[in-house]
Amino acid sequence: MVTWGDDSRGGRDGESGTLASSARAAVSAHDPAGGPPIDAVRGDDQALVDAILAGDRDAFRIIVERESRTVIGACSRILGSMVEAEDVAQEAFVIAYRALGTYRGEGALGGWLTRIAVRLALRRSGQRREVTWIDPHADFASTAAGRSLRGGDPAVLHAAEERAGAVRSAVAGLPDSYREIVALRFFGDLSLNEIAATTGRPLGTVKTQLHRGLARLRDRLGPEFAS
Amino acid sequence: MNRRFDHEELGEGAGREELLGIARELEALGRADVGVPIRDFADRVMRAVERERRPSPIGAFGAALLGGSPRGAVAAVAVAWRLATRAGRAVPLAVRAQALAFVLVVAVAAVGTGTLAVAGAAQVLGGSGILFPSGPTPSPTLTIQPTPTLEPIPIPTPEATPSTSPSPAAEPSPTLSAEPSETAEPGETAEPGDTAEPSETPSAKPSAEPSETPKPSPTPRPSPTPTPEPGESSASPDASGSETADRDAG
């Protein structure tokens, strides 16, 4: 649940306080598990963004608290490291804050943020590939396998982590357009409709690029992964 | 947590089962426990954001232009318009006025740039006769040229019939050369001039070569001897001339 904190911060500048408080009320009524209508979410998003553009910087905290788990999760799945994922997610939020003046509200704000974060994470992943061989297990404790190491067979978990690393490397090696779609679908957990709205591409194009991206992955990973 | 991948998302195509296997692999990776974000993550982000300038469509527009992103620039204008025209008192008056002024400036700049671009393109294309083939540029040339060109044409045509006779061929040239001085048509004057020059050049080349060959003319001095002169004496200068010509050519 979103926590806002001190009300005096949001309502300090009269009119923008009205907007921020309405956005705040809308967000506090927003239940992620319940799945509100997408138009309502868009309205909330636009109200929040307009409040920030009108000078209410603290309204951005609502967005951060609401979307941080999704954004960090997407980065973590791409990078395989929680520490790195948080760094990338923080960078993504700062970039999004700078670019709020271009958010038109065509897709959900969460999808827009996830797209920025996924692109940053993929770029980081692509840069990191050459360095990985120096110390591949340096951040193993923060990975999914590392966290569950206490209760499982280390060899099995290590094999699973290697398999996951192979898949991540294969995704990072895809051409840009396929890579983004695959990452948004499977790591960013967006539906194809959301991806189409976020990227501004037609749904048919998104489907085609997903199909081709998976075909490239099959060729890279081999039949062992495709079975 | 992670929505399940549906095989219909793949659409039609060969090897769907294999692709579904790859999709399940990715799905498993996406379902992996990603842990909980650190508790002060939002504080970290807000601390980083405090160092940033307040976001605005104007700043985003400039950044988009510098970054070469026309979509971003258009989006910034759209957001500014949304802020300027938002109903109610939600947006402060200063922000609303700033957004409206920005939209107006962009609109005026776009219209001005478009007008200049159209004018420039019209000038470039019109000057080369692509855009306006029946435009104003051909008309002055047509109005000026017809009067001079019509005058010379009747004059050569009556004189052209006598020019078919061998001797008066020189006569049309002065008449034509006098007329071009009035009109700006050197094309016709050049032709007779050219015809005159070749008539000189064939005579000049042989005359120049024999002018050098007279040096061998002393050779005929011994020719006063009773032997038949013309065949040998004429042959030797020709041979010397041909040799000199070959050397010159070489």
Write the pLDDT tens digit of every residue in B18-28: 788 888 888 88
Q: Distance from B140 to chain A by nearest Cα, in Å?
A: 54
Nearest chain B residue to A71 by CA: give it: B37
Tell me, what's the pLDDT at A161? 78
* Cβ–Cβ below 8 Å for B48 and A94: yes
Q: For residues B82 and B56, give the distance between their C-alpha atoms in angstroms, rounded to a whole number.
A: 12
Residues of chain A contacting residue B41, judged by C-beta atoms under 8 Å apart: 64, 68, 72, 86, 89-90
Contact A98, A49 (CB under 8 A): no
Domains of chain A: 1-128 (1.10.1740.10)
Is residue A113 very low, low, confident or very high in pLDDT (cuts 50, 70, 90)?
very high
Q: Are A79 and A138 in contact (CB under 8 A)?
A: no
Helix axes A38-53, B70-84, angle to 10 degrees: 90
Q: How many whole angstroms from its chain centre is CA B209?
A: 50
Tens-digit pLDDT profile for residues B53-86: 888 888 889 888 888 888 889 989 998 998 888 8
- A149 reaches B (C-beta below 8 A): no
- Whether ipTM > 0.85 holds is no
B171 confidence band (pLDDT: 50, 70, 90): very low
Residues 2-31 of B with CB under 8 A from A: 2-3, 5, 9-11, 13, 15, 18-19, 21-23, 25-27, 29-30
Selecting from A101, A192, A208 the residue whose C-beta is nearest the C-beta of B55 gives: A101
A99: pLDDT strictly greater than 70:
yes
Would the CB atoms of B29 and A94 count as touching at under 8 Å? no
Range of lowest pLDDT (A170-174, B68-72, B124-128, B171-175)? B171-175
> Cβ B72–A227 below 8 Å, yes or no?
no
- For residue B183, name the pLDDT band (cuts at 50, 70, 90): very low
Residue B117, pLDDT > 80, answer yes
Which chain B residues in 48-67 lie under 8 Å from chain A, judged by CB atoms? Answer: 48-50, 52, 54-61, 63-64
Is residue A73's pLDDT more than 60? yes
For range B123-140, the mean pLDDT: 63
More confident residue, B139 or B64: B64
What's the pLDDT at A111? 92
Smallest Cβ–Cβ distance between A50 and the set B5, B86, B93 belongs to B86
Q: How far apart are CA B42 and CA B95, in angstroms?
A: 27
pLDDT higher than threshold 80 for residue B88: no
Higher pLDDT, B148 or A3: B148
Contacts of B161 (CB under 8 A, 6+ apart): none
Q: How far, in Å, CA of B49 to CA of B43, rounded?
A: 10
Residue A65, pLDDT > 60, answer yes
Output the average pLDDT for chain A: 76
% residues pLDDT > 70 (chain B): 45
Amino acid residing at B168: P
B chain contacts of residue A55, beta-carbon cutoff 8 Å: 54, 92, 95
- Average pLDDT for A49-60: 88
Nearest by CB to A18, from B5, B25, B90: name it: B90
Query: What is the rounded CA–CA span in Å between residue A172 and residue A126?
Result: 6
Test A77 with B30 for CB contact under 8 angstroms. Answer: yes
Q: Note whether B83 contacts A54, CB cutoff 8 Å.
A: yes
* Spatial separation of the C-alpha atoms in residues A119 and A176, rounded to whole Å: 9
Task: Provide the 10 A C-beta neighbour count for residue A94.
Answer: 16
A23, A59 Cβ separation under 8 angstroms: yes
Cβ neighbors of B236 (< 8 A, separation 6 or more) are: B216, B219
Res A182: pLDDT: 92
The number of CA neighbours under 13 Å toward the Cβ of B121 is: 7
Rounded to 5, what percent of chain A is helix, strand, coil?
Answer: 75, 0, 25
Distance of CA B212 to the CA centre of its chain: 53
Distance from CA of B100 to the nearest CA of A (A): 13
- pLDDT at residue A71 above 90? yes
- Are residues B78 and A104, on separate chains, in Cβ contact within 8 Å? yes
Residue B220 has pLDDT above 80, yes or no: no
More confident residue, B72 or A40: B72
Least confident of A69-83, B28-42, B111-125: B28-42
| Interchain contact, B52 vs A60, CB within 8 Å | no
Torsion over CA of B192, B195, B201 and B203, rounded to 10 degrees?
A: -110
Q: What is the pLDDT of residue B82?
A: 87
**Looking at residues B133-139, what average pLDDT do you find?**
53
pLDDT at A87 over 90: yes
Contact A218 B22 (CB under 8 A): yes
Give the CB-side neighbour count of residue B24, counting CA atoms within 13 A.
Answer: 11
Q: Is the pLDDT of residue B13 over 70?
A: no
Mean pLDDT for A166-178 is: 88
pLDDT of A98 above 80:
yes
pLDDT over 60 at A31, yes or no: no
Mutation for testing the A interface, residue in B27, B39, B41, B52 having most A CBs under 10 Å: B41
Query: pLDDT of A14-30, one tens digit each?
Result: 444 445 555 555 444 44
Of residues B180 and A76, which shows the higher confidence score? A76
Structure confidence at residue B184 (pLDDT): 42
| Residue A5: band (very low, low, confident or very high) from pLDDT cuts 50, 70, 90 | very low
Shortest CA gap B116–chain A (Å): 28
Cβ within 8 Å, pair A18-B26: no
Conformation bin of residue B169: beta by default, left when phi > 0, alpha when psi is -120 to 50: alpha
What's the average model confidence in pLDDT over A38-53? Answer: 74
Query: What integer pLDDT is reported at residue B151 of this predicted model?
Result: 52
Question: What gap in Å lies between CA A54 and CA B55, rounded to an integer?
Answer: 9
Range with lowest mean pLDDT among A128-137, B129-138, B237-246: B237-246
Q: How does pLDDT run across A173-201, given as a tens digit for each residue?
A: 899 889 999 999 998 889 999 999 988 89
Number of Cα atoms under 13 Å in the Cβ half of residue A83: 7
Neighbours of A210 (CB within 10 A): 24
